[in-house]
Amino acid sequence: PYFTTGLVAYSVGLAGTFVANSVTKAGQPALFYIVPSLLAASLGTAAVRGELDALLSFENTRSKAAIQAREEWKAARDKERQREAVE
């Protein structure tokens, strides 16, 4: 569902960019129209599916692993500093 709605939202945002270009006769930043349509589609899909809390509180497993590795590195560094201070 997210891919399909995202694809439709991207198309709508891109179409909005072309309409704005035609109306204003000036170049428009495409992301100005695409990003809001993608955000609205993602939030709408999550709300309809009852997954809004999961979407808003999403944490990537890769970022969790990076945070854990950083904390382990800090702990090892602090132990090393304490050991050097004793010597």
Q: Rounded to an integer, what distance in angstroms lies between the CA atom of residue 55 and that of residue 20?
A: 31
Instruction: Write down the H helix ranges in the chain.
Output: 2-24, 31-49, 52-56, 61-86
What are the φ and ψ backbone dihedral angles of 51, each rounded to 5 degrees? Answer: -115, 20
- pLDDT tens track of the chain, all 87 residues? 899 999 999 999 999 999 999 999 998 898 999 999 999 999 999 999 999 998 888 878 888 889 999 999 999 999 999 988 887
Rg of the chain over CA atoms, in angstroms? 23
What are the φ and ψ backbone dihedral angles of 25, each rounded to 5 degrees? Answer: 55, 30
- pLDDT at site 11: 97
- pLDDT at site 51: 93
- The token pair at 40 is 């609205």
